[in-house]
Amino acid sequence: MKKTLPKRDRKGRFVKKKSNILKAKTTNLRTTATICNPNTDPKKVVRAFRDVTSQNLSQREIRGLTKSGGAHLIVVELDNRNEAAYVGRVDGKGPHIFLIDPRFISEETFTHEVIHALQQYDPKRPSLDKELTIYPLSWEDVTLKEALTEAETIARVKKIDPTADNYYKDIKKDNPQYPSEKEMKKEDRKRLTGENDTPKGEKSVKIVHKKFKNLRISKFKYPKSKLTAKQQLKTKTIKRR
């Protein structure tokens, strides 16, 4: 048989043959887990986390988090106030670490905590998001950060969970004249995206920052904060002028 010699360019260098195989899109965030609860299946937790992130994050966001280390879930029972927490990366290296209480494994919990990671590592996020990741933070800044994150969570998830209403319980406590916690959450979802639209990536961020002042969640305030999220946002706006 006649052998086909490899092609060379004008300078005599071998020319690499182009592949017809397209590079596959990243659809899953690289994820591992440490389980501190004997009743929790690590494979199910990882699968659920990947399903949620592939559904509620853009491909660019998934690639960015995977490139910066992926995700490591630590499933452990937390105190009564915390359902989950984004810890960050150890010395800026390795995977993004998330603490997840096994009693609160859900689409909203996963989405909320991943948004915290995006606020810190996604270069496309607004400057305000970046500012709110530089510790130490005042209670007023923590209030604003959590309210913005919750608003974005409500915008991104496929279906809101009316029973996951911790932030709205605090709002109702400070404003007893407001509708029920469940109704406020449904109202915010409708104001953000309507009934069915669930934006991802930069689109969801822009919607939240545009409509935040008119949301019920903007009235959220931690007990130790002197200002609501909406009031704290006004101080940020004044500083930038």
ω into residue 136 within 30 of 0, thus cis? yes
Q: Is position 21 within any domain?
A: no
Q: Is position 7 within any domain?
A: no
- Same-domain pairing of 137 and 197: yes
The reported pLDDT for the residue numbered 96 is 95
| Cβ partners under 8 Å of residue 161, min gap 6 | 106, 107, 108
Residues 43-100: pLDDT tens digits?
Answer: 999 999 999 999 999 999 999 999 999 999 999 998 867 889 999 998 888 899 999 9
Residues 218-240: pLDDT tens digits?
Answer: 999 999 999 999 999 999 865 54
Looking at residue 107, which CATH number applies to its domain? 3.30.2410
Q: Give the mean pLDDT of the chain.
A: 86
Q: How far is the C-alpha of 117 from the C-alpha of 197, rounded, in Å?
A: 23
- Same-domain pairing of 116 and 169: no
- Same-domain pairing of 97 and 148: no
- Same-domain pairing of 77 and 155: no
Indicate the pTM of the whole model.
0.84
Q: Please identify, among 79, 108, 124, the residue that sits at the C-terminal boundary of a domain.
A: 124
